[in-house]
Structures are given as C-alpha cells and as structure tokens.
Amino acid sequence: MEANSRRPVHKIDKIDNFQNLNSPMLRFRSTINGPCVGERFANFIMTLEEREKWDQSIAEVQEIYPIYDLDAANIAMGFGKYGDCSRLGVGYCRTKPAFGVTSREQLTLCGIQDFPDGSCMIWGTEMEEWHNHLLPDGERHVRAKSHLFSTTLVPTGPDSFDAEYVLQLDIGGKMPTWITTPVICESVKCLFSHAKSYFEEGEGGALDKHIKEMEAQNDTFENRNGILFTP
C-alpha cells in the first residue's frame, strides 16, 4: 500500500478479505530509536491515559478482568514456548461517535509475551458473542471485532528496535472497507508518531525516568534478597 523510509511508518501492506472475514489484514512496519521496552509500548494501547495522547476517537479503555496467576498462564502456554507471559487479561474499549458514525465497543483477551533476546509481542483477540455477559454494565454499542492483532518489537541494537503492527479489524455496521481502511491506517500512523516521540526523547525524558525508577527498584529488591538469604 505504502512505502517511504523517511516516515514513522515506513511500510504498509494489505491482504484483502483475509480468511474470508470481509475485512483486510493490515501490516505496519516502523523503526524506532530508543530502548525496546514492550510494557511502555503496550501502555499506548491498553491504558486510557496514554491512548488519549494519540487516538482522538477513544472514549474508554479498561482492563476489566486481569489475570494475576501468570505462572498458570505460562504453564498453559507450554513453559516458554511462546515467550514469558508478563501480562494477561480481558479488556474493554469504546470509541466516541464521530462524523455520523456511532460509538463502537470491543471485548478482547490481550497479553504481553517477553522473549530472552529482549523482543516482545503484544497481542489480542476478540472475545466471542457468548462472552457478552462479561461486558461492563451500561448502554450497548455496535461491536467492532479485532480478528487479528499483534505488535512485535525486536531490538536491533542497545538503543533501537523494529516494530511490526498487524491488525484485522471489522469495524461493524455497514461501512465499506474502502472507507474504514484509510481511517485505520491514519490512526496507526498517529500511534507510531507518538511512540517515536516517546522512545526517542532521550536522557531526562519520560522513558529514561521510568527505566531509572525500575533499576532503582530492582537494586533495592536484590539488596533485600541479599540480606534475607545471607546465612
């Protein structure tokens, strides 16, 4: 669809009607300078505070059923066969009505898989209709469905990584894909523009402060373990 090495998203590919689901599968590729911290990238998608910074259409994002027993999740996933699951849960999101299009809502199972080489995969899949009882109380809206969603981050150096974002989204209703696809593309471009500004902010930026805070916490924990386990 598009290719330009000077843009935040340097390549976009599309497969129409993938798996006969009447919506295209889109793949976006980007290269970002900065440390590869998957949990920070996931927050751009999974938390309302960060999502609002790049997605003007979002009205609500919440993790309504977090799964805390990640050991059990990793056992079910085959003991590291698909990386280490560091976050898992059922989430809900809702968009604002705009330009004559009513609000959309989604109910998704999402997770984060971390790998030994520093890579990370953020993934999600739409819950089925028989899971509708899990939807939060309140007015119901047209259901959009992410048939496929994944964001894969792969380090290319100590301060750079490649990102691949794959999405097959059925926006619901009767809007044709030739209208919705450009809207989705522009939204994902906004995500990567925001991501690049965050990850490339450098020393003193929000990411740098977060990394230093995590390092300080880890040092404290390691020191505490040293005291506890000293014979």
Q: What is the mean pLDDT of residues 14-34?
A: 94
β-pair type (160-170, 145-157): antiparallel
Q: What is the mean pLDDT of residues 30-42?
A: 95
Q: How much is the pLDDT for 101?
A: 85
For residues 92-121, b (16+ Cβ closer than 10 Å) or e, as one string?
bbbbeeeeebebbbbbbbbbbbbbeeebbb
Residue tagged 């977060």 (tokens): 210
Q: How much is the pLDDT for 80?
A: 77
Task: With a cut of 70, say whether residue 224 has pLDDT above it.
Answer: no
Q: What is the pLDDT of residues 153-200, one digit of tens each?
A: 999 998 999 999 999 999 988 888 888 999 999 999 999 999 999 999
Q: What is the mean pLDDT of residues 140-150?
A: 95
Q: 0.85 cut: is pTM over it?
A: yes
Q: Which two tokens stand for residue 149?
A: 């969603």
